Amino acid sequence: MADFSWPAGKRLAVSFVVNVEEGAELRVTDGDRSPEPIDELGVVLKGDFRNYSNETNYAYGTGPGAQRVLLLLERFGVTATFTAAALALERAPHIAKAIAAGGHEACAHGWRWVPQHRLNEEDERAFIRKAIASIEKSVGQRPLGWLSRYLHTGNTRRLLAEEGFLYHMDDYSSDTPFWDASCGKPIVVVPYSLDTNDMKMWNAPALSPADWATYAIDSFDWMMREPRSEPAMLSIGVHLRIIGRPGRIGAFERVLDHITRDPRAWITTRRAIAQHFQRAVPAPAATS
């Protein structure tokens, strides 16, 4: 059990994560065998053809969706972590510029939003390095955190540590950051959350924006009042193409309004959480 506390005696660390995947998803025009299967309609299409409709659905995220999300973050004074597929930022330089101008964190969500778990070690290292170089060029900051597209390999965490990453967020096992020294050079794990993610509104269409907001707020309120022996954090993930729609953005506004009103919350980036943990809790010796 880690013995540390959040800055200024804050009760709970809150991480707002904005996923930027649009433009980096699977496309036959980018050499993929099939179009992107993640579709709001829930229709999985396979074959060597373009899914023009789904491409435009993703494009909405980099247009009106991004504008709404960025305006809300600015209005509530929230600094977020943008988990971005590097190619998405190359194709949407206005978003990369907004991340830098807003003081947000750019976290790597892969070079492209593709199945990373199928890569061998050499290709995965190249994939990681390509993402680093691209995001640094687009945003002006080198990413220190990594989120895979759902699955990663047994080499991923070791490769990230070797390539200078501070933290990895492909983990759902805890409410508190922790060290992983099993992969050689220790790396901080900053756990993520799926249950508070707006993707639920695509995966389970019966879940309304109001339901999602209530769930996120209930999660926050519970964590604020429950007794605990170590500091905890809450992650809330959103997507430009999902939460940025007119019928959903109000739910995000409601969540931001509720959480930012509580002075006990440390609303910050995942990089800041990892850096604070790194300073407060000494890294363990490598176990392998």
Nearest of 50, 59, 54, 23 to residue 41 by alpha carbon: 54
Kindly report, residue by residue over 13-32, the tens digit of the pLDDT: 999 999 999 999 989 998 98
> Does the pLDDT value for residue 97 go beyond 90?
yes
Nearest of 54, 119, 113 to residue 83 by alpha carbon: 113
> Does the pLDDT value for residue 45 go beyond 80?
no
β-pairing, 187-189 vs 178-180, is: antiparallel
Query: For position 1, what pLDDT does the model report?
Result: 61
User: Do residues 77 and 57 lie in contact, with contact meaning Cβ atoms separated by under 8 Å?
Assistant: no
Mean pLDDT calculated for residue range 167-179: 97
β-pairing, 178-180 vs 167-168, is: unpaired
Query: For position 84, what pLDDT does the model report?
Result: 98
Q: Where is 17: in which H helix or E strand?
A: strand 12-20
Spell out the domains of the chain, with CATH numbers in brackets.
7-280 (3.20.20.370)
What are the distances in angstroms from CA 164 to CA 122, 167, 187, 279?
A: 17, 9, 9, 16
